[in-house]
Chains A and B, each alone.
Chain A
């Protein structure tokens, strides 16, 4: 309430000249230096592997005596590497597509439900992430073997789909929950049928979530040794399985070369996803 009675205006002191003051923040600088060291620690082993993959020595030695591409040629010569790489990519893509086909509709159905039962189902969909992969792999192997699917590509895809469902579900749940429900209502009022609303409004809006979750599922699948090695056979060995068995016998830079190639595949997957949907949308999800 503004009182009607007048209040005397305060008297301001004479203006002082502006001065810029900067306090050196030692603690912040020390912290910054530590973070630089920390990031070096994170990057070091990866950089070391890339470096060694070009080393001309067939054992690990520093400094690198010379540079060569022969370990990359070795990948082409050693058939199990190429075959396993192909199996890995096949399994990663097939399982991710399957996980998306199963997980996305469910995530859409669960995202806005407030029933306790829906919460239970959502937790079930996310559960495979929390079960140690080695336990899941073991349990699935025996179960699928009893269905005589034991060491097949089908079994491998099923196992990786189970592991991929949480990733796809999680991001789609988050993206769809963040969307105002009015958008679909607006679409309906404007005359769109359910299918049209899904096709023109819902799907385009959740697509970044599908791609982000799918990317996670692909990357996890490519690297999921604990899940894959149970299903190992000549035709179903994924790349990590072959690499592990190779390392048990030999220790030369061809492992470094394969690792580098696998990293490049992952980077390609990332870039392709980024081209389809901007990276900032992915990190926002």
Chain B
């Protein structure tokens, strides 16, 4: 029902005093797409969102909504919807008045407002709550009201600022799917800011990982998770074991053998789309769930089990590998028998290891 409108940021930058919060950033978000801005606090994701909303004016660059330059428009003339971190529902109004607010500001007549408010509250399954006061609602209900309020004006772009951060874990997971479903149904271009990697992966079509005022990687969730380009991305999205090594020789069309900086290790395999020169020093990342534990003597890497922790759906093994600084983690669906001396071997498939772009 909303015609999908693309959003483009062109060379947008912003400094606060001496702090460069946002380095020149260019980003195109397609019509109807849900993009997640993911990063630790202070990475510039919130600044980016506030620039799009019009709360901050960028030092350089343009914000284009549907091709129109809105950089100098005040927030009220950008036609956006926004869900705030703590919902920012108006405490002095009822649920219906909150949802109707944007319509009222546009001069929509009261009768029409009532129809629209009812339609919106039905969409978020809060049809019975029109006359409630905000403080009478639970966190999840407030979240839905905030969503209804932001969507009732038919915005061209929906901005979500940590929208689920205040909810507890179970509710958060349920709302992730619900929000995603409504967004898909309306086909509305959306940006969600979050520091929760799981939320970003679950909800978005593409994830933009940000660090220190710039985007370090953009791509579909699976790509960003499986093929992180940098150590930062690999560690921010889940857990990663980082190994240093030297490329030995080619082992297949896309596979290379790598000699790890580990005592008594046999060469391991890495996969890369680009050719890797022999003798090149590399950093590689291996997800704990891609590391397999074998009996001692098997696998390329000798290791010793330090601890086993039950994490509900899997077992986490903490391992010491001679020559590797810090512990190595391996996740396993089932509990394995570990010999009394804890000695095991580790191995991974070629596509389980990613060559990072960072210098070793």
Q: CB–CB under 8 A between A and B in the complex?
A: yes
Would you call B308 an interface residue if the criterion is a C-beta within 8 Å of the partner chain's C-beta atoms?
A: yes
Expressed in whole angstroms, the Cα–Cα distance for A186 and B91 within the complex equals 12
Across the interface, do A205 and B84 meet the contact criterion of CB distance under 8 Å? no
When distances are taken between beta carbons in the complex, the residues of chain A under 8 Å from B153 are: 190-191
- The segment from B72-80, B247-255, B272-280 that touches chain A is B72-80
When distances are taken between beta carbons in the complex, the residues of chain A under 8 Å from B84 are: 182, 185-186
Expressed in whole angstroms, the Cα–Cα distance for A1 and B329 within the complex equals 14
- The segment from A135-143, A164-172, A196-204 that touches chain B is A196-204
Can you list, as one digit per residue, whether each of A130-156 has a CB less than 8 Å from chain B (1) or not (0)? 000000000000000000000000000
When distances are taken between beta carbons in the complex, the residues of chain A under 8 Å from B288 are: none
Q: Which residue of A lies closest to B311 (CB)?
A: A2
Would you call A189 an interface residue if the criterion is a C-beta within 8 Å of the partner chain's C-beta atoms?
A: yes
With A1-B307, A192-B76 in contact, do A205 and B53 touch (Cβ < 8 Å)?
no
Across the interface, do A185 and B55 meet the contact criterion of CB distance under 8 Å? yes
Across the interface, do A187 and B86 meet the contact criterion of CB distance under 8 Å? no
When distances are taken between beta carbons in the complex, the residues of chain A under 8 Å from B106 are: 191
When distances are taken between beta carbons in the complex, the residues of chain B under 8 Å from A113 are: none
Can you list, as one digit per residue, whether each of A172-194 has a CB less than 8 Å from chain B (1) or not (0)? 00000000101101111111111
Shortest distance between the CB of B312 and any CB in chain A (Å):
11
Expressed in whole angstroms, the Cα–Cα distance for A192 and B90 within the complex equals 13
When distances are taken between beta carbons in the complex, the residues of chain B under 8 Å from A3 are: 307
Give the 8 A-B residue pairs with the shortest CB-CB distance, closest first.
Answer: A190-B102, A182-B88, A188-B75, A186-B88, A192-B105, A191-B105, A189-B82, A182-B84
Within 8 A of A (CB), among B328-352: none
Expressed in whole angstroms, the Cα–Cα distance for A227 and B79 within the complex equals 54
With A4-B308, A191-B76, A191-B106 in contact, do A185 and B101 touch (Cβ < 8 Å)?
no
With A4-B308, A185-B55, A185-B75 in contact, do A191 and B102 touch (Cβ < 8 Å)?
yes
Shortest distance between the CB of B8 and any CB in chain A (Å):
19
When distances are taken between beta carbons in the complex, the residues of chain B under 8 Å from A185 are: 53, 55, 75, 82, 84, 88
With A188-B54, A190-B102, A192-B101 in contact, do A183 and B75 touch (Cβ < 8 Å)?
no
Across the interface, do B82 and A186 meet the contact criterion of CB distance under 8 Å? yes
Most chain B beta-carbon contacts within 10 A, residue among A4, A180, A190: A190
Q: Which residue of A lies closest to B102 (CB)?
A: A190
Across the interface, do B88 and A188 meet the contact criterion of CB distance under 8 Å? no
Interface size range of chain B in the complex: 20 to 34
Interface size range of chain A in the complex: 20 to 34
With A182-B84, A186-B84, A191-B76 in contact, do A204 and B92 touch (Cβ < 8 Å)?
yes
Across the interface, do A189 and B86 meet the contact criterion of CB distance under 8 Å? no
Can you list, as one digit per residue, whether each of A234-261 has a CB less than 8 Å from chain B (1) or not (0)? 0000000000000000000000000000
Among candidates B75, B89, B90, B307, residue contacting A189 with C-beta atoms closer than 8 Å? B75
A-B contact pairs, 9 of them (CB 8 A): A4-B309, A4-B310, A180-B86, A182-B85, A185-B75, A189-B80, A192-B101, A197-B76, A200-B101
When distances are taken between beta carbons in the complex, the residues of chain A under 8 Å from B88 are: 180, 182-183, 185-186
Shortest distance between the CB of B120 and any CB in chain A (Å):
13
Binding site for B on A (CB under 8 A): 1-4, 180, 182-183, 185-194, 196-197, 200-201, 204-205
Shortest distance between the CB of A202 and any CB in chain B (Å):
11
Across the interface, do B53 and A182 meet the contact criterion of CB distance under 8 Å? no
Shortest distance between the CB of B84 and any CB in chain A (Å):
5
When distances are taken between beta carbons in the complex, the residues of chain B under 8 Å from A187 are: 90, 101, 105
Expressed in whole angstroms, the Cα–Cα distance for A243 and B209 within the complex equals 74
Expressed in whole angstroms, the Cα–Cα distance for A177 and B165 within the complex equals 23
Expressed in whole angstroms, the Cα–Cα distance for A3 and B305 within the complex equals 13
Within 8 A of A (CB), among B71-124: 74-82, 84-86, 88-92, 101-102, 104-106
When distances are taken between beta carbons in the complex, the residues of chain B under 8 Å from A204 are: 92
Shortest distance between the CB of B319 and any CB in chain A (Å):
14
Among candidates A2, A200, A205, residue contacting B91 with C-beta atoms closer than 8 Å? A205
Q: Which residue of B lies closest to A188 (CB)?
A: B75
When distances are taken between beta carbons in the complex, the residues of chain B under 8 Å from A205 are: 90-92
When distances are taken between beta carbons in the complex, the residues of chain A under 8 Å from B82 are: 185-186, 189
Shortest distance between the CB of A26 and any CB in chain B (Å):
42
Shortest distance between the CB of B213 and any CB in chain A (Å):
22
Expressed in whole angstroms, the Cα–Cα distance for A50 and B77 within the complex equals 61
Expressed in whole angstroms, the Cα–Cα distance for A104 and B168 within the complex equals 39
Would you call B149 an interface residue if the criterion is a C-beta within 8 Å of the partner chain's C-beta atoms?
A: yes
Q: Which residue of A lies closest to B50 (CB)?
A: A185
When distances are taken between beta carbons in the complex, the residues of chain A under 8 Å from B85 are: 182
When distances are taken between beta carbons in the complex, the residues of chain B under 8 Å from A186 are: 82, 84, 88-90, 149
When distances are taken between beta carbons in the complex, the residues of chain A under 8 Å from B102 are: 190-192
Most chain A beta-carbon contacts within 10 A, residue among B88, B104, B106, B308: B88
